[in-house]
């Protein structure tokens, strides 16, 4: 079961917090590649199990990355709204 956790931090702390969340997500997934690499096509049961587990873990990583992206989008909106920073979006990748 998934739950949503909300907490407040100062606006200027947002990049540091997102970096922490992002690094945590990357660290969690980095060890998973070795497990996937050990998948043995000569053992179909093992192969299917490892690939399935990795795909589930990738879904979790995607959720964490989406959270980081959403937080940073909110941060950018807050900066623009406060007139603190001009945001150049001409080189930003488009969604989709």
Mean pLDDT by 10-residue block, N- to C-terminus, for the chain (96 residues)?
A: 86 96 88 86 94 92 93 94 64 56
C-alpha gyration radius of the chain: 18
Rounded CA-CA distance 80/96 in Å is 23
The answer to whether the CB of 62 falls within 8 A of the CB of 28 is: no
The answer to whether the CB of 40 falls within 8 A of the CB of 93 is: no
pTM, two decimals, is: 0.73
């Amino acid at each position: 079961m998934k739950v949503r956790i909300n907490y407040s931090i100062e606006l200027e702390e947002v990049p540091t917090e997102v970096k922490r969340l992002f690094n945590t997500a990357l660290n969690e997934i980095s060890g998973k590649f070795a497990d996937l690499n050990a998948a043995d096509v000569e053992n179909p049961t093992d192969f299917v199990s490892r690939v399935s587990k990795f795909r589930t873990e990738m879904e979790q990583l995607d959720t964490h990355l989406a959270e980081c992206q959403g937080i940073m989008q909110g941060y950018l909106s807050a900066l623009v709204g406060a007139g603190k920073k001009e945001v150049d979006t001409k080189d930003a990748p488009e969604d989709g």
